[in-house]
Structure formats: C-alpha cells, structure tokens
Structure 1
Amino acid sequence: MTMPTYIEPCLPKLVELAPTGERWIHEIKHDGYRLAVRIDAGDVRLLSRRGLNWTSRFPLVDQAARELRQKSVYIDGEVVIDGADGISDWPALHACASAGRCPGASLWAFDLLFLGGNDLRALPLVERKRMLAEILAPLTGGISYVEFLEGDGRTIFEHACALGLEGIVSKLRDSRYRSGKSDAWRKTKCEQRSKFVVAGFIPNSGNKRAVGALVLAELIGGELKPAGKVGTGWTMKLATELAAALEIIEQPEAPFTKPLLRKAFPGVRWVRPIVTVEVAYRGRTGDGLLRHPSFKAVASVQ
C-alpha cells in the first residue's frame, strides 16, 4: 500500500479524571509540538500537526530518522526540549521553533502508523507500540520511545503531577489509530493553583465596562513582581462586576516594586494592590510568567 504524504494525527479528548481499568494504558504527556516522522524510500520528512514540512527545524530528529534501518515508516510523536530536570521546557522550544531551528530538540515517539509499506492503523495500539519499540531500539538519541504504564490511571496521574509533569495521556490498549478527535485517547492535565495580587486590569475589547484580562503580581523576597495576566475563567456578568470594583481603586502608576513600562501590558489600568485572586495555571515561562492561566475566584480584598 502506498503511504500517504500526510496523516491527520489522532487527538486525545481532554478529561478531568483519568480513566481506570485494565483496558487502559497510560503515557506521560510531554509538553511540545506534535510531530510525525515520515520516511519513504529513505527520504525523511518531519511533519507538523497540520502537515507542514518542519524537517529543517529539528536537525537532531532528522539525523536520528536517517539512522533508522527501516526506509519506509510513519511515526507519530511529540518534539520537545528536555530541561535539566527532565521536564519539557516549552518556552525554550517555542522560542527556537519560532526562530526556525531547534538543534537541541528531540522526539518522544508514541505510535507507529506505517512500516515497510504496511498500514498498521487497524492493529491494536499495544501491537503498534511493540513494533515501534523494536525499530527505535538501535538509536542512541534524537528519537526516544514513549513507554506506557498499566494500573490505576488516577494514581498514575497523581504521581505525574507530583513530579511536576504536564499530565498523562490514557489510551485504550486495543484501539486502532483514528485521525481527529478520539475518545479512545484521553488526556488529563496537571493544574497548579495559587493566589495572586491584582495589579491592574485591561478592559474587554468588545465591552469596555467589563474586564478582558487581569494583570497579576506576586510578592517575592519582599518585592511585588509581575506574574503575567489572566483572561479566561469568568462570565461576562462577573467580568462587569470586577471592572466596576477595580475602577474604584484605580491609580496612575503600576504597583510593582520596580518600575514597569505600561507598554508591557497594552491598555492596562493600574489599581491599588489590595485584591487577591485564585488562579489555576500549568507551569511558568522562562521569565516566571504563568502559562495557560485561568481565573477561579476572588480570594480576598484588604
């Protein structure tokens, strides 16, 4: 069978609770870009989630793919930059990918769709993974095999979060590979929660009487420092109420210990730092700002 030039990836469904039961296996969720390795007659292509040719961006993965003995293969995985602690460094990956080249990025491979002209997508997942592990075994870097865990998904998820990982992806062990959203693959993401001081707000672009985003701050070493901004998690009613309350405590200057240019947060209206909110987030950027924050509640008002 002729191997397609591009296969739309199977996408996991986001769930709050990891599934349990013997039908499920569980993999660590790596924080990177979806990437496929397509080799046809020895010609290597690295394809993005939408089928763009990203071969030149990830030279380490490209080199490892060329070292494979198989000359006709289609591998699905996630390209990452692993930090010193072994946890994916998303900000570093995003920065170098945007610049067009990531020499330190490697691939975590979790599925095998084609091998030697044979379409494997109808085979059970665990069989595809067994074959994938075999073909990747000779490699010493660039592409690594994603092991799977068996057992209670919720316990495995708790351990992953305790280690500071992004979460897990649970998959039906006998499932076939289906492009697009699939209930046979389910991702559960770790979430951190903390309280932050509101330093200012940015009005909603469509309704100036409502909050579009809150500028956050945190007290570190006796200094009030920026923590980023949050723009999701509230209803329009609550956003309007927040704006009305914050307008009362508005002030001309940023409340941070060290001066901050207004252009860092375009359209911001600074407030006295007396309101604390609870925010959920999934890690930090390299400069300490929150990643994927979501507003949860007003915690206190001094």
Structure 2
Amino acid sequence: MFLEPMLLEQKDQPFDDSRFIYEPKIDGHRLILSKISGKTTLYTRHNNECTAQYPELLEWPVEKDIVLDGEVYCVDQDGQIDFELVMSRFQTKGTERIVAAAKRQPVGLMVFDILHYDGQDLRGVPLMQRKEILDSVVPDTPSIHKIQFLEKGGTALFDAIKQQDLEGIVCKRKDSRYIGKRSADWIKVINYQYADVYLTGYRKSEFGWLASVMGTDGQLRPAGVIELGVPPVHKQAFRGVCGQLVSGEDKNFVYLEPRLQATVKFRNWTKSGMLRSPVFVDFVLAV
C-alpha cells in the first residue's frame, strides 16, 4: 500500500522553536515500507516499487499490517553515510547482482514516521503521538532503525551536524498531521558547501550552465551543470554577455571562454569530482 509522502519546505538557517522537534537529515533516498497481509513492499517517494532492490529490508519482526516512512542509506568503510553508495545499490540490476550487493554493501532504513498500523490510518494523528506509536510497535533490527530526535536545540544540532560534515537537519512541528504534499510543518536546513566556479557554456535545449573548476594541474575541468536557483534577472544578464564569449559548440552545448564566475552552493563533491546538486548564489565577476 503506497501512501503519498509528506515533503519538506526549506530554510537557509537553523532555528530554535519549542513547537518543533529536530532530527538529523539522512543522506539517502526516501522509502515507503508497506507490510500488508504479511507481504513487504518498498516504494520510492514517486510511487516506484523497488522491493527487489533491497532484500535485506524485507524480513523483520512486525506481524500486523503497517506502513512506515523513512530513508534508505548506506555507509562506507569508515562508517560514514554515503549517498553515492546507496544510489549504486538502487541502480543495480539483476537478481544475482542485487543479492551479491546486499551482502557486500548492505543498506539500512532509518524510520522516522508511521502512517498506518493494524488497520488504522495514523496520518491524522499529531506527530508526537505517531512517534510514541512508532516506538512501541517497531523494534530496531540490524537493518531497520528508528531515528533519534531532540525536542529543543535545533541550532546546536545543526552546528554539530556541520562539524561532522553531515547533510543537515529536519525540523518538524510536534502537532503536525501527516499530509501527502509539501508543508511548512516540516522544514529542512541543508549543510551546504560553497565554491566559486567558471561558467564555461550552456545547454542549447533546457536551461543549464556548464560549471568548471581549476584542477590540481592548473587546468579547468568540468564540474557539473547549474540548473537551480538562477533568478530571471541573472539569466538576462548572462544572455547579455555570453554572445561575446563563444568559443565553440556541438550538438548539445555552446561553449564559452572562462571569463564569467559564479558562486554556487552544493551538497558535496562526488567521488568523480563533480558538484552534487549545485545551486546558483550570485555572480562573482562580470565581463
């Protein structure tokens, strides 16, 4: 049984408010776990079934019908949560490869909400009552864990998250009902990194600026595509000068001399040296 997940608004800065609880944000992907009539089914937030991808999450000691909301994650050899590893698991194809991957690199599920239990729809129950029910009916196992939360100290938690270079925090109103859409009752604060990049081209089709950074060899190298956060006025300013900087093109891109710079915020550097989810902040240098 798939139930639409509740989504988060975003704020730039953490806050302290006694009406909220605070949880660490797990750097994985959203998962709805449904166990109905003894059969466990897993869904992404977009209602794509992914049961076969995570066999290690299918056997656990809850007999009654239940629907949980959580985040699938994977840890590296140093015990750190690694988004790229869980994405690798998600994209693995073929039963034999999936089973081998589950043994080599098992995932975990961090559960933070309970939506349905033993025939009762719990989405209209206030969050703190849902947390009590979750705690009473879902035991922690080697693969499935309940998330810890604080009832105060959002700013202090975010500071600790930054020191550990983790993804961020989630702030949830204690009296919030669970609604299957985005709501300001749930707020995420991301621990962004910042970098200055060169704008070295743009897509010919949908919007996207090519970003490059200086490599250790002193040469520019590709670092990703900026698609988010660019206001109309900045797009207009870019169009006003980019025609003077064209250095070449191919089927998909127009390339520019590296004379424009921008500041971006992003989640982290990928293992291949790319910006993960870069968001435009402002221009650094205009020609």
Question: TM (normalized to structure 1)?
Answer: 0.80
Q: Choose the corresponding residue for 2:276, options 291, 298, 301.
A: 291
Residues 143-176 of structure 1, C-alpha deviations (whole Å, 9 max, x = no match): 1111102323233223223322221111122333
Q: Percent of aligned positions with the same letter in both sequences?
A: 28
Alignment map for 1:1-302 (pairs within 5 Å): 5-62=1-58, 66-100=59-93, 101=98, 103=102, 104-139=106-141, 141-198=142-199, 200-205=200-205, 212-220=208-216, 222-251=218-247, 266-271=252-257, 273-300=258-285
Equivalent residue letter for 2:237: E
SS of residue paired to 1:220: coil
Larger Rg belongs to: 1
Distance 1:40 1:194, change over 3 A: same
CA, structure 1 residues 73+148, in 2 after alignment: closer, same or farther (shift >3 Å)?
same
Following the alignment from structure 1 to structure 2, what is the Cα–Cα distance between the partners of residues 301 and 220? 25
Whole-angstrom distance in 1 between the partners of 2:5 and 2:34: 13
Find the aligned partners of 2:145 and 2:240 in 1 and give their Cα distance. 53
For 1:224 and 1:298, locate their aligned partners in 2 and report how far apart those are by CA, in whole Å: 18
Structure 2 Cα separation of the partners of residues 93 and 77 of structure 1: 14
Shift of 1:236: 4.1
Gaps of 5+ in 1: 254-261
Q: 1:9 to 1:241 in 2, by over 3 A?
A: closer
Is the 1:217–1:228 contact (alpha carbons within 8 Å) kept by the matching residues of 2?
A: no
Give the distance between the partners of 1:242 and 1:131, measured in 2 at CA: 53
Report the Cα distance in structure 2 between the residues aligned to 1:242 and 1:51, rounded to whole angstroms.
38
How many Å apart are 1:267 and its aligned residue?
Answer: 1.5
Structure 1 position 290, deviation (Å)? 0.6
Q: Secondary structure at the match of 1:137?
A: coil
The Cα RMSD (Å) is: 2.8
Q: Cα offset for 1:25?
A: 0.6
Q: Residue 156 of structure 2 aligns to which amino acid in structure 1? A: T
Q: Which amino acid aligns with 2:166?
A: L
| 1:98 counterpart letter in structure 2 | Q
In 2, are the aligned partners of 1:81 and 1:106 still within 8 Å (CA)? yes
The alpha-carbon deviation at position 24 of structure 1 amounts to 1.0
Q: TM-score, normalization: structure 2? A: 0.83
Q: Which amino acid aligns with 1:106?
A: G
- Unpaired stretches in structure 2, ≥5 consecutive residues: none
